[in-house]
């Protein structure tokens, strides 16, 4: 029972109807709000529709019931599309010639199917967090809370999870199938957008394959370290210490390179650690939805920013910028820095040139800031915590929030540079290359620097040519290239000198820089008008090929997961069955006890801490070790979800003393396996008050 709560595939029809409306609306916007080529409008329209629908669903979902908000968002977006269509001065509402792109759509559908096969066979990273958020958002908790007993909203980029929640609410899916399907849809659309970008810059049919292939497979070249003398790798073992899940390999760095990566929920054939990367994992992995959604938005802006057809089009940009902040705040913030840095540099270098075409994008970026601070998510919660404390409601005064930008410099001036901690950032010294797998690699240590350069990949060697190419193209009118390459440089330099709470988090800035440069490298290599020495171009082709090889090996490894199905790590058919029975059925004001996170995912009702963690000696841990009817009722609990795996681990004395066989206790839902040994049981305690 992987797909639908009622076991009926027809449950997906309402979501497919909403998707059709969203796509039609996006097509109208791509036609009338932007000056795009015919081959681009239908595919860009789908991307616009998906991101704008998600943004509207987040806004409306904070005021309307989820059964209404997810459907109303599609209808409202279609109305907006028609309103833009009414602005046309001549010509048809939609051009039939746009449909000639249908072979691309078939390929895109095939990519969605391929990644869906991979996705349902994998259960990697953050699944617990993503599944919890998708489940509670689909059930109406928007913005999502962190605990049921305290009015604390979750500080997280939950934009992708809103899209996944639409598949649960409108499509009748279970949390894991909504998660995997949402990732697959966005991944397929992202690759087709990359293909459009490749076709635009390369101008040949193979450019589409190049654009999509580079985006999907590009990664670092850690595996090339195996070509170095063994003595160097043994020497590097003194300095390189594996971090996070990589530490589970339990071997020195030199041995880990040729070892499998023992990660929970991975494919049957283990990933080879040498082909992975701690800065730029290949997009073909796409473990999470937020990173894929962020890249989709980046490509969408890349394709549309210089193609605005009027001032009203800037309103669309405001929404796209805003949802980017909700999907991946680091990428949004980095692009904003790059956009304004490029605008300032461009004005300083080219004062005699007309910058009017930049103004709509700059205005849209500025207008998006107050929207971002109001809409929910990381920036909203950080701003509220900074000015009002965590007990304030989601929507609060606008003017105090806008003073954040003015206040941070004052904070910086009031602190010693070495000891400054602003929003979790501190100075990193000595400078280092952050890798989520290998930690901070000191650039003043020769061994660590060499490992770091292989981790980054050869694209770094070609950044002078990439930057020069982007600047020339920007001066000729393709100004988004200037903003993107400026953001890439900022994103590369910041992690070298600043550190965050975890290198895994701040390495995302460098990830965006490397991904941007790698795509641009593919385009500049194919640009015959760009002058560079033949041997440099040949070296660039070889370097790009080396960066794609690691991703190709990862893709081959993932094929071993295509024939299997994992609901999620630690979940089985019984969990699916009880979820189908209880999801969305529990009163919103009820208090539920159960395994942390697990119960939240299955019921759509927030229970305990969202991330499934509890401090030692906490009230929850005491109840979990010895649950009793009297204790739960005294603490105000209305329901308890009992998992036989937990229940059977309790001693017979604790089981008999629990009191759950009392007459007042009613069985709300119950499922058993075929052996009638394992079960999931939701008990209703409300009559025991």
| Least confident among 86-95, 210-219, 362-371, 567-576 | 86-95
Judged against a pLDDT cut of 70, whether residue 275 lies above it is answered with: yes
CB 383 within 8 A of CB 404: yes
Judged against a pLDDT cut of 60, whether residue 42 lies above it is answered with: yes
Judged against a pLDDT cut of 80, whether residue 416 lies above it is answered with: no
Mean pLDDT value of segment 480-496: 94
CB 257 within 8 A of CB 274: yes
pLDDT value at residue 677: 87
pLDDT value at residue 418: 46
Please, which pLDDT band fits residue 60 given cuts at 50, 70 and 90? very high
Instruction: Pick 137 or 610 by higher pLDDT.
Output: 137
pLDDT value at residue 406: 36
* Tokens found for residue 138: 């689909």
Q: Coil, helix or strand for 440? A: strand
pLDDT value at residue 467: 94
Judged against a pLDDT cut of 60, whether residue 150 lies above it is answered with: no
pLDDT value at residue 354: 53
Span 292-323, pLDDT tens digits: 999 999 999 999 998 888 778 889 999 999 99
Mean pLDDT value of segment 130-141: 92
Judged against a pLDDT cut of 90, whether residue 519 lies above it is answered with: yes
Instruction: Pick 29 or 407 by higher pLDDT.
Output: 29
SS (H, E, C) 241-253: CCCHHHHHHCCCH
pLDDT value at residue 614: 58
pLDDT value at residue 389: 64
Q: Coil, helix or strand for 432? A: strand
Mean pLDDT value of segment 566-590: 88
* Domain ranges, ordered by start, for the chain: 573-688
Instruction: Pick 532 or 542 by higher pLDDT.
Output: 542
441 sits in which H/E element: strand 439-442
Query: How many degrees, rounded to 5, is the angle at CA 409 between CA 405 and CA 410?
Result: 110
For the chain, give the mean pLDDT: 87
Residues 6+ apart with CB under 8 A from 642: 594, 660, 679, 680, 681, 682, 683
Winning range, highest mean pLDDT, from 13-22, 116-125, 247-256, 604-613: 13-22
Question: DSSP label at 672?
Answer: E
Please, which pLDDT band fits residue 392 given cuts at 50, 70 and 90? very low
| Least confident among 109-113, 216-220, 358-362 | 358-362
513 phi/psi in degrees, rounded to 5? -65, -45
* Tokens found for residue 289: 């939805």
Span 76-112, pLDDT tens digits: 999 999 999 887 776 778 889 999 999 999 999 999 9
Mean pLDDT value of segment 560-584: 88
Among 282, 385, 368, which Cα is nearest to 326's?
368
Q: Where are the beta strands (DSSP E) in 459-576?
A: 498-499
pLDDT value at residue 316: 93
Judged against a pLDDT cut of 90, whether residue 433 lies above it is answered with: yes
Judged against a pLDDT cut of 70, whether residue 424 lies above it is answered with: no
* Tokens found for residue 272: 């080879």
């Amino acid at each position: 029972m992987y797909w639908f709560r009622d076991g009926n595939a027809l449950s997906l029809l309402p979501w497919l109807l909403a998707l059709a409306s969203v796509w039609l609306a996006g097509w109208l916007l791509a036609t009338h709000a932007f000056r795009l080529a015919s081959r681009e409008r239908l595919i860009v329209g789908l991307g616009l529709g998906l991101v704008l629908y998600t943004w509207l669903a987040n806004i409306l979902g904070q005021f309307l019931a989820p059964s209404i908000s997810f459907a109303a968002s599609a209808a409202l977006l279609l109305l907006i599309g028609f309103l833009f269509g009414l602005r046309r001065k001549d010509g048809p509402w939609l051009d039939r010639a746009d449909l000639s792109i249908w072979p691309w759509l078939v390929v895109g559908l095939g990519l969605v199917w391929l990644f869906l096969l991979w996705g349902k066979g994998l259960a990697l990273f953050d699944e617990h967090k993503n599944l919890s958020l998708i489940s509670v958002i689909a059930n109406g908790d928007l913005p999502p809370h962190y605990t049921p007993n305290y009015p604390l909203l979750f500080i997280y980029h939950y934009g992708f999870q809103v899209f996944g929640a639409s598949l649960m609410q409108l499509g009748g899916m279970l949390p894991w199938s909504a998660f995997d399907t949402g990732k697959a849809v966005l991944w397929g659309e992202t690759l087709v957008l990359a293909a459009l970008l490749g076709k635009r810059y390369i101008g040949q049919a193979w450019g589409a394959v190049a654009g999509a292939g580079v985006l999907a497979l590009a990664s670092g070249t850690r595996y090339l370290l195996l070509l170095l003398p063994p003595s160097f790798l043994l020497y590097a073992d003194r300095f390189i210490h594996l971090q996070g899940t990589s530490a589970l390999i339990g071997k020195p760095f030199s041995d880990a390179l040729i070892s499998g990566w023992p990660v929970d929920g991975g494919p049957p054939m283990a990933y080879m650690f040498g082909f992975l990367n701690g800065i730029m994992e290949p997009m073909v992995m796409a473990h999470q939805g937020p990173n894929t959604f962020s890249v989709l938005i980046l490509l969408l802006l890349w394709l549309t920013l210089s193609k605005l057809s009027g001032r009203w089009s800037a309103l669309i940009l405001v929404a796209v910028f805003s949802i980017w902040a909700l999907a991946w705040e680091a990428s949004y913030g980095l692009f904003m820095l790059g956009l304004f840095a490029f605008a300032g540099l461009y004005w300083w270098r080219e004062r005699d040139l007309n910058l009017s075409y930049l103004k709509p994008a700059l205005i849209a970026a500025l207008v998006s800031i107050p929207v971002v601070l109001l809409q929910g998510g990381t920036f909203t919660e950080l701003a509220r915590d900074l000015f009002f404390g965590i007990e304030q409601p989601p929507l609060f005064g606008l003017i105090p929030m806008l003073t954040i930008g003015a206040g941070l410099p004052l904070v910086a001036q009031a602190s010693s540079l070495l000891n400054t901690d602003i929003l979790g950032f501190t100075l990193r010294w000595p400078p280092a290359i952050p890798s989520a797998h290998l930690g901070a690699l000191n650039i003043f240590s020769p061994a660590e620097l060499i490992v770091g350069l292989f981790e980054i990949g050869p694209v770094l060697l070609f950044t002078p040519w990439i930057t020069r190419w982007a600047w020339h193209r920007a001066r000729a009118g393709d100004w988004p290239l200037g903003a993107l390459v400026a953001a890439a440089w900022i994103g590369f330099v910041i992690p070298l000198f600043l550190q965050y709470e975890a290198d895994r988090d701040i390495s995302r800035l460098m990830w965006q820089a490397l991904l941007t440069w790698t795509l641009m490298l593919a385009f500049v290599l194919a640009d015959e008008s760009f002058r560079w020495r033949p041997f440099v171009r040949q070296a660039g082709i070889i370097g790009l090929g080396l960066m794609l090889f690691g991703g190709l090996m990862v893709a081959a490894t993932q094929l071993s997961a295509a024939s299997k199905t994992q609901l999620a790590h630690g979940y089985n058919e019984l969990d699916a069955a009880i979820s189908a029975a209880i999801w969305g059925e529990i009163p919103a004001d009820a208090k539920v006890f159960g395994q942390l996170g697990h119960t939240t995912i299955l019921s759509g009702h927030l229970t305990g801490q969202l991330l499934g963690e509890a401090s030692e000696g906490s009230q929850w841990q005491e109840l979990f070790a010895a649950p009793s009817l009297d204790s739960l009722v005294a603490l105000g609990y209305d329901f308890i979800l009992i998992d036989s795996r937990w229940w059977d681990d309790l001693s017979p004395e604790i089981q008999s003393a629990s009191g759950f066989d009392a007459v007042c206790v009613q069985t709300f839902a119950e499922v058993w396996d075929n052996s009638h040994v394992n079960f999931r049981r939701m008990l209703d305690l409300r009559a025991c008050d």
